[in-house]
Amino acid sequence: MISRRGRTSTGDRGEANVLGLVLIAPAAVAVGVLVLWIGRQVDTDAQVQAASAAAAQAAARERTPAAGTTAAQRAASAMLMDATACSAGPLVTVDASSWAPGGSVTVTVSCTPRTDDLALGGASPRTFAASSTATIDRYRSEGLP
């Protein structure tokens, strides 16, 4: 159908749709990457918090400070095996200065998530850290199994 001005009434409509797609697509991709990046940050924070709590509990169940330190490192490493959540592996610090029956052990876990796979290689990496304290059983003895 030809209008009074000599153009078809449906010819301009397709060009407007293509132009809208060209303008909106990059913005939609950028928003998608931003959502993924924020989601990874939240997920990493939650994983580090959970790993520090589990590592502190694992350390508190052991009989000696050395065994507690080893157990805490194993527990945190097992929980943070995901390469995107903790790209270089977790850094586990154990404070066993209050190690005694009825005392406590504090475990700090930190790690840095990957950002290079989200096309954010230039973004400065953020290190997440969490610290948890667990009480050592009052009736625990080093000599017993």
Please state, rounded to an integer, the average pLDDT across all residues of the chain: 83
Type of residue numbered 84: T
**CA separation for the pair 12, 112 (Å, rounded):** 51
Residue 85 lies in a domain: yes
> What is the predicted pLDDT for the residue at 26?
85
Q: What is the pTM of this model?
A: 0.74
Q: What percent of the chain has pLDDT over 70?
A: 78
Residue 115 lies in a domain: yes
**CA separation for the pair 105, 62 (Å, rounded):** 11
Q: How confident is the model at residue 139 (pLDDT cuts 50, 70, 90)?
A: confident
User: In 15-103, which ranges are E strands?
Assistant: 91-95
Residue 9 lies in a domain: no
Residue 30 lies in a domain: yes
Residue 44 lies in a domain: yes
For the segment 34-44, what is each residue's pLDDT rounded down to a tens digit? 888 888 888 88
Q: Which whole-number Å values give the CA distances from 41 to 71, 93, 143, in the listed order?
A: 26, 22, 43
Residue 6 lies in a domain: no
Residue 116 lies in a domain: yes
> Distance between the two ends of the chain, CA-based, in angstroms?
92
């504090």: which residue's tokens? 106
Show the domain range for 50: 14-135
> What is the predicted pLDDT for the residue at 37?
81
Give me the torsion for CA of 57, 62, 67, 68, rounded to 10°.
30
Residue 23 lies in a domain: yes
Q: Classify residue 2 by burial, with Cβ atoms within 10 Å: 0-12, 13-18, 19+.
A: exposed
How many domains does the chain contain in total?
A: 1
